[in-house]
Amino acid sequence: MPESPMNIPADKLPQHVAMIMDGNGRWALSRGLPRLAGHKAGTENLRRVIRASAKFGIKYLTIYAFSTENWGRPPEEVRGLMYILEDVIDRELAELHKEGVQLRHIGRLERLAPSIQKKVLHAIKITKDNSRLVVNVAFNYGGRDEIVNAIQNIMKDGIPVEEVTDELVSRYLYTAGVPDPDLIIRTSGELRVSNFLIWQAAYSEWYVTPTYWPDFDEKEYRRALEIFAGRDRRYGKVSSNEYEASNA
């Protein structure tokens, strides 16, 4: 079995890693800085994590950048986050494209400023043929909103009730065509799903770390992948070892 750069067998690596990038504000406040400084530091770390994902052989990375609930934050913080998104696209698109990263957006674009919508769509178009790493950016995204949107579109398309299956619903989600996440990493130690990929995460493994997102480095990412490689994923069944023991 071929091995990854970490000496983990390729079949033990997650194909799809999703990340809840939590703790930017607390990282900043712990340093006497404004919350927006934490978001900027988190964005700088995202660059490193994307490159580490490609290095480790991850095929899909989904990052939770801005939820549908985040609009309730102070207006100056929301404006700052929008500026950061636009600035990141301007600064990083060419390099990510060069490195073979395909960018996708999951969530609703409608509420974003037209200038940002245009840049997001441009980034998607420019990188659509890249295949080294697919990065889903969940911006103005909510798991419940995604499911409601899927149901609405299934009804609009007149799909008969008896034809509605797990597979059909998955095809109507924002992540259509992308395998469900094998591993979800949450920084800052919070033990919440936070409305993130609630359909897709039905059998995901979780890795929760107290580390704030700006400090989540390649070493800890590697540790998360090593722990995942040691997990016994049963999908509601029993492991082969347990089955053999029970029938001994």
- 90 labelled catalytic: no
Write down the catalytic residue from 22, 24, 45, 182.
22
The C-alpha atoms of residue 119 and residue 112 are separated, in whole angstroms, by 11
Whether 70 sits among the annotated catalytic residues: the reply is: yes
Cα distances from 190 to residues 55, 76, 168, in angstroms, run: 28, 25, 32
Q: 11, 45, 70, 87: which is the annotated catalytic residue?
A: 70
Q: Which residues are catalytic?
A: 22, 70
